[in-house]
Amino acid sequence: MEPHVNWDELPEAVRTVVEKRVGKVVSARTVEDGITCRTALILSTVTDTLFLKGTPVSDRSSVEAQRMEADINAAVARVSPALRWEAVVDEWHLIAFDYVSGRHADLTPQTRDAAIVADTLRRVRSCRPPGGGLVPLLAERYRDTLGPGDYRALDGSSLLHTDTNPHNILIASQCGYLVDWAMPAVGPAWVDAAQTAVRLMGYGWAPRDARAWLSGFPEWEHAGQATKAAFVRVVCDDATARFGSYAEQENACFRALLS
Ligand SMILES: Nc1ncnc2c1ncn2[C@@H]1O[C@H](COP(=O)(O)OP(=O)(O)OP(=O)(O)O)[C@@H](O)[C@H]1O
Ligand SMILES: [Mg+2]
């Protein structure tokens, strides 16, 4: 991963426009996490702090991802920091958010964050997908892998984040925030919880403990076994098609959801 562009390396026109919007920047800290954006900055003025993400407009897929984050922000206000503004300046696409002074979720075994992460995902359940077909259906993402009858397993009307890696879960004062709504989907209500349980296994949780955590989500408990099995099969087939044998470790965790 290329290092992120620092504040003083951004074009002067960009810095000028940002300062017109936020006031004189007195400190700028580069956040190194984040593969999609080219710059991620914590900018402070005398009275305020905000988080700024940016990507060159030539990087079409990253701009699309940032536009999605901006467009969906009002719909996910219960769980995400608020968008302050979006701008295109001197060939840079910029989105600015309220700054969360927090840390990444700890997903290792025995973490105290497990309940906060669960609560964060439950708050997502109260977010309705925005209208206008902005958010694609989850089934669409897997269209090349769907077998007959699989479509129904991935069908649903819930708004999903679909990338609950710990870098996208910030915790501040015991409250969880889900950032980076770049690849949302509409699908079954239990998908984010199931994918997060797989991540817990990836961080070393015993499958039994991850399943116990997941059992705290009634939507997963009430989903039929055939539906869950179809979901796991589709996700695993898709990962194998894309990553070959590298997918096997995570696929085993997905299959462990069904035991
Ligand atoms: N509002 C915020 N306040 C404070 N820090 C934030 C905020 N939003 C994001 N971050 C931090 O910045 C990092 C990068 O942001 P983000 O995940 O949105 O970038 P990205 O490049 O889209 O990520 P990805 O690697 O998933 O593509 C996050 O992992 C998090 O640590
Ligand atoms: Mg991210």
177 lines ligand 1 (CB under 6 A): no
State the ligand closest to the CA atom of 68. 1
Q: Is the CB of 70 under 6 A from ligand 1?
A: no
Centre of ligand 2 to C-alpha 41, Å, is: 13
Q: How far apart are CA 57 and CA 14, in angstroms?
A: 13
Residue nearest to ligand 1 atom 8, measured at CA: 179
Residue type at 137? L
**1 pLDDT more than 90:** no
Going by pLDDT thresholds of 50, 70 and 90, the confidence category of residue 29 is very high
Confidence band for 65, pLDDT divided at 50, 70 and 90: very high
167 CB under 6 A from ligand 1?
Answer: yes
pLDDT for the residue 6: 97
Q: Which atom of ligand 1 lies closest to the CA of 179?
A: 8
DSSP conformation class of 135: S
Dist CA 111 CA 105 (whole Å): 9
What residue spans define the domains of the chain? Answer: 7-98, 103-256
Q: How far is CA 195 from the centre of its chain?
A: 11
CATH architecture of the domain formed by 7-98: 2-Layer Sandwich (3.30)
Residue from 85, 180, 199 whose mutation best tests the ligand 1 pocket (most atoms within 8 A of CB): 180
Look up residue 21 and give its two tokens.
């919007």
| CATH 3.90.1200 fits domain 103-256 | yes
Is 51 touching ligand 1 by the criterion CB < 6 Å?
Answer: yes
Q: In whole angstroms, what is the distance from residue 238 CA to residue 89 CA?
A: 38
> What is the Cα–Cα distance from 178 to 183, expressed in whole angstroms?
12
Asked if 63 contacts 36 with a C-beta cutoff of 8 angstroms, the reply is no
Residue indicated by tokens 């702090």: 49
Separation between Cα atoms, residue 44 and residue 186, nearest integer Å: 36
Residue 236: strand, helix, or coil: helix
Is the confidence at residue 2, as pLDDT, over 90? no
Amino acid (1-letter code) at residue 189: A
- Segment 165-200, tens digit of pLDDT: 999 999 999 999 999 999 999 999 999 999 999 999
In sequence order, what are the residues at sequence separation of 6 or more whose Cβ sits closer than 8 angstroms to the Cβ of residue 252? none
Cβ(100) – ligand 1 distance below 6 Å: yes
Q: Which of 51, 55, 103 to mutate to test the pocket of ligand 1 (most atoms within 8 A of CB)?
A: 51
Render pLDDT for 212-244 as a digit per residue (tens, 0 to 9).
999 999 999 999 999 999 999 999 999 999 999
Residues above pLDDT 70, as percent of the chain: 100
Residue 95: its H or E element: strand 92-98
